[in-house]
A and B are shown apart, each in its own frame.
Chain A
Amino acid sequence: MMFEHQMIQATGFANHGPVGARDGVDIRLRVPNYRGMRLSLLDGVEVTLDGVKYGYETNLFEYRGQVHDLASLRAATRIHWSMDEPGIVRVPLKGGLAPGVHEVHVVARVRSPYFPPELQPLPVHATRKATLILP
């Protein structure tokens, strides 16, 4: 699929879980890199929603319908995140967010083996206002 230019996509920003019993917030991302990459090179994604930070250690990541925690991401050396497919970072947030416009900040932690070891992982930042529609 084709994406918006920036990493955080407007479409896909939504509460997760059954209506009335939301258990998280989903944010759709395009690959935070100039190349597709094996998922093990994505060392988690930190998210800040309206100023509240949710750590990369506890956020989940969904790709092609498969949900990964950090350990699962680090072990995913055979799954290739393709440039034309979205990834979904899922913030575990009981009740989800209220409908409306929210400030979303994302830090994707990308390991690039050809960069010096002490720069790993390299944080890739993005910020936007995004609109959540359904409670």
Chain B
Amino acid sequence: MPAPLKYGVSLYSYTDDFGSVMGLEECFDHVAGTGATGIEILGETHVRGYPAPDAAWVDRWFQLLEQHRLEPTNFCCWVDTTLRLGRPMTVAEGAADLERDLRLAHLLGFKSIRPKFGVISRDLIPDPIWSGASERALELAAKLDIVICPEIHSPTPLNHKVTHEYIDFIERTGTKHFGLLIDTGIFQNRPLRGWVHDVPDPDEQLQAMMRGLAVDPQELLGIAKYIVFIQAKFHHIDDALEDQNIPWETVIPALKQAGYGGYLSSEYEGQRTPWTAIDQVRRQHALMRKVEAEYDASMSVGGRP
């Protein structure tokens, strides 16, 4: 029997609701209410006083984890390479940003950080400082035992220069503290209805992104050993528990065949009317667990996926 998947929720799911109709305590309640065991946060969003929360906030964080029996999973952060207009970010500045977030993630008990590096092109090639900055931060990452995992996110597919360069970096350095985070938006194979981001005059690339990249989930098998974390991106699940965009019925079996036993962390990115996200996340957990159970049942009777 393949390893069971772990289920978590990213508080990104509750964007706009967080800070208006719910605070951190309500977020914990909704996450725990799905039966999840892990919680993912965005440092700049959910840590009051980022990047240096006061002791009272940190104490409360650990109380909430214990009360709801949740473990910290992944900590999202940014390396804002165009923070300064007029001059690019240096490798040393990029490394300092990574180290800032490694320390905070460690303080709060996280196992990985997801840095989002600034990009230099339409097809989202990261600023070349990512490599030098990450290499400098590896020593601290190893000391704190936190994995740095940039994300593979639409419109970047798995088989792409960006993914290959991250893998080359892992092979070249031999590090255990750098890996890949996969955003399941790359498997989207039906168009989005409406678009949550306000983009002027969507061009062909953006329209393709809205239709979906439709990456074949079987491609996960070749890169499984580099995958640290999955952000289970989704947009809408209907009353019949059918996801309108993401094919979980092929994504989850591929993850299990690949031997992945880590987290599927809900990342709802759909209608932002108040309180919509809470039930959408619950629907996704019901759906993902159902698909995993069906896969496991098919294996236990000697069936083949």
Contacts and interface: CB of A to CB of B under 8 A. Distances in A.
Interface of A: 2-5, 30, 34-38, 40-41, 74, 77, 80, 82-84, 111, 113-120, 122-125
A39 B106 CA distance: 26
Give the interface centre of A3, A113, A115, A117 by most chain B CB atoms within 10 Å: A113
Interface string B10-44: 00100111111101000000000000000000101
Task: Give the interface size class of chain B.
Answer: 35 or more
Given A36-B45, A122-B198, A111 B82 contact: yes
A123 B42 CA distance: 22
Contact of A115 (B18, B49, B119): B119
Contacts of B119: 113-117
28 contacts: A2-B19, A2-B23, A30-B19, A30-B20, A34-B12, A34-B15, A34-B45, A35-B45, A41-B83, A77-B84, A80-B44, A82-B49, A83-B18, A83-B19, A83-B44, A83-B46, A113-B79, A113-B80, A113-B82, A114-B116, A114-B118, A114-B119, A115-B119, A116-B122, A119-B199, A119-B200, A122-B198, A123-B200
B290 interface: no
B50 A82 contact: yes
Given A3-B20, A4-B20, A118-B122, A74 B42 contact: no
Interface string B159-200: 000000000000000000000000000000000000001111
B274 interface: yes
A5 B50 contact: no
Contacts of A123: 198, 200
B220 to A, nearest CB: 23
B286 interface: no
Contact of B117 (A34, A41, A114): A114
Nearest to A124: B198
Nearest to B118: A113
Sorted from nearest, which 5 A-B pairs have the closest CB atoms? A113-B118, A36-B44, A113-B82, A34-B15, A35-B44
Given A5-B21, A74-B85, 12 more contacts: A5-B274, A30-B20, A36-B44, A38-B80, A40-B85, A111-B82, A114-B119, A116-B124, A119-B200, A122-B198, A123-B198, A123-B200
Contacts of A84: 19, 48
B78 interface: yes
A117 B120 contact: yes
A90 to B, nearest CB: 22
Interface in B194-226: 197-200
Interface in B60-110: 78-85
Given A30-B19, A117-B119, A118-B122, A82 B48 contact: yes
Give the interface centre of B42, B83, B120 by most chain A CB atoms within 10 Å: B83
Nearest to A107: B198
Nearest to A126: B198
B218 to A, nearest CB: 28
B300 interface: no
B45 to A, nearest CB: 5
A120 B48 contact: no
B50 A117 contact: no
B78 A113 contact: yes
Given A5-B21, A36-B50, A113-B83, A83 B45 contact: yes
A80 B50 contact: yes
A80 B15 CA distance: 18
Contacts of B127: 113
Contacts of A34: 12, 15-16, 42, 45
Nearest to B82: A113
Interface in B135-181: none
Nearest to B272: A5
A5 B20 CA distance: 5
A114 B78 contact: yes
Contacts of B117: 113-114
A38 B118 CA distance: 14
